[in-house]
Amino acid sequence: MKKIVFFFLFLCLLVFLSFLFPEDDSGIRQVSKEKRGVFLSYIELNKYLKGKTPKESKKNIRQMIANVADLDFNLIILQIRSFSDAIYPSTIFPWSSTVSSSEGVDPGYDILDYFIKKAKENDIELYGWINPYRVRSSEDVESITEGNPAYSYLDTDFLYIENGIYYNPAKQEVEDLIVDGVEEVVKNYDLDGILFDDYFYPAKDLDLLDYNQYVEENGDLSLDEYHLMIINQMVKRVHQVCRKYGKEFGISPDGNVENNYQKVYADVKTWLQSDSYLDFIMPQIYYGFFNETKAFKKVIDEWNEMIQSDDIDLYIALAFYKVGQVDPYAKSGSTEWLVNNDIVMRQILLSRNLSHYRGFSLFRYDYLFNQELYTDMTMAELNNIKKILN
């Protein structure tokens, strides 16, 4: 009788443990709550908030959040600082012209605070998306107002002007500006996390004076190594600030690992070795299954394998904007998105098998909800995605 009781208790224990640590048939740990995100960029803010009264823009915010909730998504990645500006009252950055009539002009209410409150009412998390170094996407220095911290750096090597205007990452004052800006927002707002996008070094030779001074004082270091070091210092400090206030911090780098090193000096391999730099990585894997040079399966496996810390989560950024479009960079796979209406659905299903996978996010909001951007495939792809969100 004792053996029977013991065996019964043992079975109960196994059942209990199976709920704590569920596995599928392949032994992969299952995600308890998949993050399902949508990028909401300054382009959408400019369309739905700029030039609107507070009443009109608040209505549009509620509608955007309702659309995300109706799709059964649970995360909005909101671009809160895109051009050395802010969509909230800041003591560091001016009001963004993407949400008001012009830079520095108060739109009439705290847009970020309203977004957060309405998102939480719908059980949606909100990450603040920041572009740390970009000041402008054009070379128009006249558009930089006195309230913008970049204004005091005009005609200095603190700014790099070519195909846009960018802060020089090698300057200590610039690093402090970025860190202080993050601390201001995570201290004052109930955000769930902070996300940096893939804009880091805008050019290789913008900081030669800084580099030469460093070598003179500290010894030999290649220019490439110097750039990686500069970005790593900034990323580590931002992560420390986010951790101090209990916020997640992550980066959404180029899905092409080589581009991160050769173009913007984002040291993604180092970031994924430990929990010293970030809490999650969200690579922009904007490739189809038949992309000739970067096939989706190969790329997601590469990113998953690079993660060496169980404390780092993997979210996959997916290219919903390519649905129904020709992808010329895919070469022989260029028509894949044009003839298939279930690519994103299959990418989500495949990504769920990765050991570090915790969710996905689609780029970007308007391609899902603005009928002006719809292709014949849009609704079919959305309906297919809904089938796997249960």
Q: Per-residue pLDDT tens for 343-362?
A: 999 999 999 999 999 999 99
Q: Is the pLDDT of residue 65 over 60?
A: yes
* Both tokens assigned to 176: 């402090």
* Both tokens assigned to 1: 């009788």
Q: How far apart are CA 274 and CA 286, in angstroms?
A: 26
Q: Is the pLDDT of residue 298 over 50?
A: yes
Q: What is the pLDDT of residue 31?
A: 46
How would you classify residue 324: left for phi > 0, otherwise alpha for psi between -120 and 50, otherwise beta? left
Q: How far apart are CA 260 and CA 331, in angstroms?
A: 22
Q: 106-154 pLDDT, tens per residue?
A: 999 999 999 999 999 999 999 999 999 999 999 999 999 999 999 999 9
* Both tokens assigned to 150: 């970049």
pTM of the full predicted structure? Answer: 0.91
Q: 220-254 pLDDT, tens per residue?
A: 999 999 999 999 999 999 999 999 999 999 999 99
| Residue 298 and residue 287 in contact, taking contact as beta carbons nearer than 8 Å | no
| Cα–Cα–Cα angle for 356, 194, 170, rounded to 5 degrees | 105
Q: What is the pLDDT of residue 5?
A: 40
Give the pLDDT band of residue 390 (cuts 50, 70, 90): confident
Give the pLDDT band of residue 380 (cuts 50, 70, 90): very high
Helix (H), strand (E) at residue 361: strand 357-362
Identity of the residue numbered 217: E
Q: Is the pLDDT of residue 1 over 60?
A: no
Percent of the chain with pLDDT over 90: 91
Overall residue count recorded for the chain in this entry: 390
Q: What is residue 171's DSSP assignment?
A: -
Q: How far apart are CA 261 and CA 269, in angstroms?
A: 10
Q: For the purposes of burial, counting CB atoms within 10 Å of the CB of 390, is it exposed (0-12), middle (13-18) or buried (19 or more)?
A: exposed
Give the pLDDT band of residue 32 (cuts 50, 70, 90): low
Average pLDDT, the chain: 93
Give the pLDDT band of residue 193 (cuts 50, 70, 90): very high
Q: What is the pLDDT of residue 338?
A: 97
Identity of the residue numbered 44: E
User: Pairing between strand 165-167 and 159-161?
Assistant: antiparallel
Q: What is the pLDDT of residue 58?
A: 98
CATH no., domain 35-387: 3.20.20.80
Q: Is the pLDDT of residue 6 over 50?
A: no
**Chain position carrying tokens 């600082």:** 81
Region 203-231: mean pLDDT is: 97
Q: What is the pLDDT of residue 4?
A: 44
| Range in 28-37, 184-193, 240-249 with the lowest mean pLDDT | 28-37
Percent of the chain with pLDDT over 70: 92
- Domains of the chain, by residue range, sit at 35-387
Q: What is the pLDDT of residue 25?
A: 35
Q: What is the pLDDT of residue 12?
A: 43
Q: Which of 186, 101, 173, 97 is nearest to 133 (CA)?
A: 173
Region 3-7: mean pLDDT is: 42
Region 6-35: mean pLDDT is: 46
